[in-house]
Amino acid sequence: MNIPSELKYTKDHEWVSIEGDIATVGITDFAQGELGDIVYVEVETLDETLDQDEVFGTVEAVKTVSDLFLPLTGEIIEFNESLEDEPEKVNTDPYGDGWMIKIKMSDPSQFEGLLSDADYKNLIGA
């Protein structure tokens, strides 16, 4: 199970990295494995400002559909449009090419409240 130590995590199995006040968000290796073959990533909240834990999109695997929750309050400024044609990137490279959105954070201090890699390992029993 790949759980990079430089990232932060949520109980909803998302990962977050930050650069300045911009956060990049995707789902974890564990999450993509549990979902199976991902066939559709739907984000209809581009340019919207949402609160932490609000639903910002949906990820559909062949067998299941799962909501995506915003890890940090802010404006969704970018969606990884390459996922429209190649949603399988979420399976093959969840922490790289499979990233989902970028957020302009309203409150960067929220980042420190997210789970560390060790916390996340505990959560999933890895």
Partner 1 sequence: MKNTALTQTHEALGAKIVPFAGYNMPVSYEGVNVEHETVRNGVGVFDVSHMGEFLIGGPNALALIQKVTSNDASKLTIGKAQYSCLPNETGGIVDDLIVYRMKEEQYLLVVNASNIEKDWNHISKYNAEFNAEMRDISEGYSLLAIQGPKAVEAMQSLTSEDLSTIKFYNFVVGDFAGIEHVIISATGYTGSGGFEIYCKNEEVKQVWDKVLEAGVDFGIKPIGLAARDTLRLEMGYCLYGNDINDETSPFAAGLGWITKFTKDFVNSEALAKEKAHGPERKLIAFELDERGIPRNDYDIVDGQGKKIGIVTSGTMSPSMGKGIGLGYVPTIFSEVGSKINIQIRKNAVPATVVKLPFYKA
Chain positions contacting partner 1, by CB under 8 A: 36-37, 39-40, 44, 58, 60-63, 65, 91
Q: How far is the CB of 126 from partner 1 (least distance, A)?
A: 15
Of the pair 58, 106, the CB lying nearest partner 1 is at 58
Q: How far is the CB of 101 from partner 1 (least distance, A)?
A: 17
Distance (Å, whole) CA 111 – CA 117 = 13
Strand partners, 29: none
Distance (Å, whole) CA 47 – CA 40 = 20
Of the pair 7, 43, the CB lying nearest partner 1 is at 43
Question: Which among 81, 56, 52, 51 has a CA at the least distance from the CA of 66?
Answer: 56
CB 24 within 8 A of CB 16: yes
Q: How far is the CB of 60 from partner 1 (least distance, A)?
A: 5
Q: How far is the CB of 68 from partner 1 (least distance, A)?
A: 12
CB 18 within 8 A of CB 108: yes
Of the pair 65, 126, the CB lying nearest partner 1 is at 65
Question: In terms of DSSP bridges, do strands 65-69 and 22-27 run parallel, antiparallel, or are they unpaired?
Answer: unpaired
Of the pair 10, 32, the CB lying nearest partner 1 is at 32
